[in-house]
Structure 1
Amino acid sequence: MISLYKTYLTNLLKESGCKRIYSTIKEMETSQAPNMGGILFQTEELKRVNTKKTFEEDGTRKIRLKKYERITSISIIIGETNYEKCENIYEQFLMNLDNSINDGKGNSIKIDIGDSDWVEDKDSILRAKIAVQIDVTFESGIYKDYTNKPVNPNIGLG
């Protein structure tokens, strides 16, 4: 899942106007780029749940058991040379951010955003004059599928 999130967010930042995208604080500290984006993984929380969903796949009825809820927090950083450029990228990022994405296995991953924190060059490790940090949360799950056995219509008929 982490690589799915990183790919999704990297593409989104590029579409929004970020020229360089980093994935560690060290890379951002040593970069001389005043215009950049960052994707920093923060925390992941697991909660045990037991919810079921029945579905059909290739003509077979199946049960999908959600064993864990997985909540992954990621910080997105956008740095630029001036307020206007930074705000344009920030707004474009928020406009392009989907409410959910598909994990490729038929499961929807909910995307939510938290607070945004703006900092100026004197309060930041970045070379950017202005930067914004956005908290993005992905809510997914760990699933196990079971196949229902077909009912034999001849059982019980004498």
Structure 2
Amino acid sequence: MFEPCRKYLIDTLKDSGIHMEPITSMKRLQLYGNSHVGAVLFEDETLRRNGSKRNYVDQGGASRKRRRLFDRDLTFQVVIGEYDPIRLDEIYQEFLKRLGHGLYVDGNFIAAEPSDVDWVEEADSILKAKIALKVAVTFYGGIYKDSDRLNLGSKTLHIRADKVNQREEQTDG
């Protein structure tokens, strides 16, 4: 889940108007000397146990059960720096338009949710950019375990009446 989410952000950032290969480490970002900059930095991962279950039919028509073992949330910081504040705002708005609701990884939908945004002026930044922003993007996914469901419609049950009568007598008396 980590690499597809990071690649999704990198591709979205490039499609939004960042002309360089986005940086993926804080150390390289601090050393970068150009005012036009884009970066995708991993920040945090949160795991929570989850026992939810869902029944579904796969593409082959087999009845299956999917159990969500964990909720897995990954947060990345997307950094955009630019010399011109108007150009920065254009890139930022295009990034938000292209971000979409999320992506599919191994058939599972992972929601992407942007949240906290910090705008930073040149004097307050480690970057060479005149103005920069940092937006947190959290991906909400999970860890799943699939199993086959027993198809009772195709099974024949053999119940012996004498066994049922014995159990009724034991509970009555």
Shorter chain as denominator, the TM-score bin is over 0.9
TM (normalized to structure 1)?
Answer: 0.94
CA-to-aligned-CA distance 1:13-47 (integer Å, 9 cap, x gap): 00100122100111111111210111011110000
More helix by share: 2
Instruction: Find the residue that maps to 1:67 and give its secondary structure.
Output: strand
Instruction: Find the residue that maps to 2:95 and give its secondary structure.
Output: helix
Determine the structure 2 residue equivalent to 1:10: 10
- Count residues with an aligned counterpart: 157
Q: Tell me the distance in 2 between the aligned counterparts of 1:79 and 1:11.
A: 17
How well do the aligned residues superpose, as a CA RMSD in angstroms?
1.4
Aligned-pair CA distance for 1:155: 3.0
**Structure 2, unaligned runs of 5 or more:** 161-173
CA-to-aligned-CA distance 1:99-154 (integer Å, 9 cap, x gap): 12111x22111111111100011111111111000010000000000101233343
**Structure 1, unaligned runs of 5 or more:** none
Aligned-pair CA distance for 1:157: 8.0
Instruction: Find the residue that maps to 2:150 and give its secondary structure.
Output: coil
Structure number with bigger Rg: 2
Q: Tell me the distance in 1 between the aligned counterparts of 2:156 and 2:93.
A: 63
Determine the structure 1 residue equivalent to 2:112: 111
More strand by share: 1
Q: Tell me the distance in 2 between the aligned counterparts of 1:137 and 1:96.
A: 15
Give the alignment partner of residue 88 of structure 2, picking from 86, 89, 92.
86
Q: Tell me the distance in 2 between the aligned counterparts of 1:77 and 1:31.
A: 13
- After superposing on structure 2, the runs of 4+ consecutive aligned residues of structure 1 that deviate more than 6 Å are none
Name the % identity: 32
